[in-house]
Amino acid sequence: MMPETVRKDVVVSLQYKLWLDDGELVEETLADEPLVYLHGHDNIIPGLERALEGMRVGESKKVVVEPEDAYGEYDPEDVEKVSRAALPPELKPTVGMVLTIVDDRGNMYDAVLTDMDEETITLDFNHPMAGERLTFEVTITGLRAASAEELEHGHVHGPHSH
């Protein structure tokens, strides 16, 4: 049976636009490429997931999400200076570039290079939208039941995913 509303274990397709408080449009889905996710499994930010609960296909809504329900507050402690000698020799660092750092346990983190001098680079590990209040305009474009495998994995399987 096709689900009629957004609820746990339903695969949701939606179109959205996302603005920051300063009015900058930072994300927008394309007409033929909606966001598709499994509801109720922490696949999207919690503030948006809560607001979508109960919506129907064709329904639109404006949703404002505070930082604590989005990408968290900006943490000034989450910024580190690293010796340039630790970088791979072929890397030419520039301010604004995003580096993927692997720690000794194999965890990967994205960091933005925010500053550099002759000896060090400064890496900011905060999410680029940390500390931001987010304003979404969303339209639900599709709902379907999840497969048993999707429920087991906790995410949607597209034509190319595992």
- Chain residues 118-157 in contact with Zn ion, contact rule CB under 5 A: 153
Whichever of 59 and 150 has its CB closer to Zn ion, that residue is 150
CB of 38 to Zn ion, least distance (A): 10
Q: Is 61 in the site for Zn ion (CB under 5 A)?
A: no
The one-letter code for the residue type at 31 is A
92 or 162, CB closer to Zn ion?
162
Residue 100 or 161 having the CB closest to Zn ion: 161
Output the smallest distance, CB 8 to Zn ion, in A: 18
Toward Zn ion, which CB reaches closer, 83 or 161?
161
Beta strands in the chain (DSSP E): 10-20, 25-28, 35-38, 60-65, 79-83, 98-102, 108-116, 120-124, 134-145
How many amino acids of this chain bind Zn ion (CB under 5 A)? Answer: 1
DSSP structure string for 118-152: SSEEEEE-S-TTTT--EEEEEEEEEEEEPPHHHHH
Whole-number minimum distance, CB 10 to Zn ion, in Å? 17
Q: Name the β-bridge partners of 48.
A: none
Task: Tell the residue number behind the tokens 């709902």, with chain if given.
Answer: 143
Interface residue list for Zn ion (CB under 5 A) = 153
